[in-house]
Amino acid sequence: MKIENIEMRRVTLPLVTPFRTSFGTAYERETTLVRVTTANAEGWAEHAAEPDPLYSSEFLDGGDLVIRDHLIPRLQALGDRLTADRVATALAPVKGHPMSKAVLETAILDAQLKETGVSFGDHLGAVHERVPAGVSVGIMDSHEELLDAVGRYLDEGYLRIKLKIEPGWDVVPVRAVRERFGDDVLLQVDANTAYTLADARHLAQLDPFNLLLIEQPLPEDDLLGHAGLAKLITTPVCLDESIESARDAAAAIALGACSVINVKPARVGGYLEARRIHDVAAANGVPVWCGGMLETGIGRAANVALAALPNFVMPGDTSASNRYYTQDLTAPFVLEDGHLAVPTGPGIGVDVLPDVLNELTTRTTDIRF
Ligand code: NPQ
Ligand code: MG
């Protein structure tokens, strides 16, 4: 495939409400969009990093630089042999930077699929027309505020609630949600690495609440710690930040460090590696679900397609657009009966709204290919 141009466009979307996690509070979503132009198509993807390297080591300005100076030149060297399948191998000599690699591979895959008229879902192996939606609920200033938010999401139809936790905001809010909304609500928690193995006895106090899982309680490089923790608590341990590849997934499963995996395409270098993680997990009887990075409609569309693969057996953080944005960059993803429809059009299957895009753009860089 011959690429003519790559545009990098920084956009900022206001969030409907601040989103607090154990690593910080987001008030808006800033991202770099990548637009790949070929003779017959235009592929889109969004960078998953934030302005600050707090979720992982990647951050947006660093991503822009590594894409421009280190990744795009390696793709240019492929010339007309460039296909989405060859991106990861071409970029492998550059250490790390999975989110920057992912945004390029995804935009190229989108352009390629649009050229051939194939949807992301069909290309990846989707087996469902719609996927169940969960929602990630931030840390709040009070339990009243939390119960209000959870109540509203349940009324909207969300099929699973994930509470963000940190030391000082864990057992008590979980108990409050169980007492208010009952034992039937599918409920899980996400610590974003905020604990250590020394907290095992404290985290065991979550055992009675029948949580689906506890996500990434310990630091990302502490696989042995997670394996140890998994023996000390009954809540299933799920990994997010620790898993950056299918090989990481295989190692974590073999060590007993997790019994569930949150698959985020951006964190693992793209949708093709994400599918390999799905396959490794399936071969080991480990369920997976699709995580989220506050994607706009562009990233959300591709995530929803991935979430329709057979081993995505738990509801993901694939929420409706209005969970985060009053005005999305695409037609909004809307909850229907607690589900989101998998797009069926070519590529990601959604169009970027030009007026909204222009209004939210803060700068644009063109790289002739
Ligand atoms: C997680 N996502 O599963 C992440 C973390 C996260 C939906 O909980 C801006 C950009 C803010 C990315 C906040 C959810 C973010 C972000 C949290 C990712 O760990
Ligand atoms: Mg997480």
Joined tokens for residue 30: 């800033």
Q: What is the pLDDT of residue 192?
A: 98
The answer to whether residue 222 scores a pLDDT higher than 90 is yes
Among 293, 296, 303, 324, residue to substitute to test ligand 1 (most atoms within 8 Å of Cβ) = 293
Q: Distance (Å, rounded) from C-alpha 285 to C-alpha 143?
A: 37
Q: What is the pLDDT of residue 369?
A: 84
Question: What sign has the CA pseudo-torsion 280, 283, 285, 290?
Answer: positive
Instruction: Report pLDDT digits (tens) over 295-352.
Output: 999 999 999 999 999 999 999 999 999 999 999 999 999 999 999 999 999 999 999 9
Residues with Cβ within 8 Å of 70's Cβ and at least 6 positions away in sequence, in order, are 94
For ligand 1, atom 19, name the residue with the nearest CA. 192
Q: Distance (Å, rounded) from C-alpha 192 to C-alpha 292?
A: 13
Q: Which atom of ligand 1 is nearest to the CA of 24?
A: 13
Burial class of residue 215 in the structure, from the number of CB atoms within 10 Å of its CB (0-12 exposed, 13-18 middle, 19+ buried): buried
Answer yes or no: is the C-beta of 291 below 6 A from any ligand 1 atom. yes
Q: Distance (Å, rounded) from C-alpha 264 to C-alpha 300?
A: 11
Greatest pairwise CA separation for the chain in angstroms = 60
Q: What mean pLDDT do residues 224-232 have?
A: 98
For ligand 1, atom 7, name the residue with the nearest CA. 292
Active site residue 95: no
Q: What is the pLDDT of residue 241?
A: 98
Instruction: Report pLDDT digits (tens) over 133-191.
Output: 999 999 999 999 999 999 999 999 999 999 999 999 999 999 999 999 999 999 999 99
Q: What is the pLDDT of residue 18?
A: 98
Residues with Cβ within 8 Å of 69's Cβ and at least 6 positions away in sequence, in order, are none
Answer yes or no: is the C-beta of 292 below 6 A from any ligand 1 atom. yes
How many Å lie between the centroid of ligand 2 and the Cα of residue 242? 10
For domain 3-117+352-368, which CATH number applies: 3.30.70.1060, 3.40.50.1220, 3.30.390.10, 1.20.1290.10? Answer: 3.30.390.10
Contact assessment for residue 174 and residue 143, using Cβ atoms and an 8 Å cutoff: no
Q: Distance (Å, rounded) from C-alpha 217 to C-alpha 229?
A: 9
Contact assessment for residue 312 and residue 133, using Cβ atoms and an 8 Å cutoff: no
Answer yes or no: is the C-beta of 136 below 6 A from any ligand 1 atom. yes
Report the phi/psi class of residue 192: left, alpha or beta, with left for phi > 0 and alpha for psi in -120 to 50.
left
SS3 of 162, please?
A: strand
Q: What is the pLDDT of residue 83?
A: 97
Q: What is the β-pairing status of strands 3-21 and 24-38?
A: antiparallel
Answer yes or no: is the C-beta of 265 below 6 A from any ligand 1 atom. no
Question: What sign has the CA pseudo-torsion 231, 236, 240, 245?
Answer: positive
**CATH class of the 122-341 domain in this structure:** alpha beta
User: Which DSSP symbol is given to 337?
Assistant: T
User: Which DSSP symbol is given to 94?
Assistant: S
Phi, psi of 234 (to 5 degrees): -95, -20
Sorted by where each begins, the domain ranges of the chain are 3-117+352-368, 122-341
Among 13, 17, 19, residue to substitute to test ligand 1 (most atoms within 8 Å of Cβ) = 19
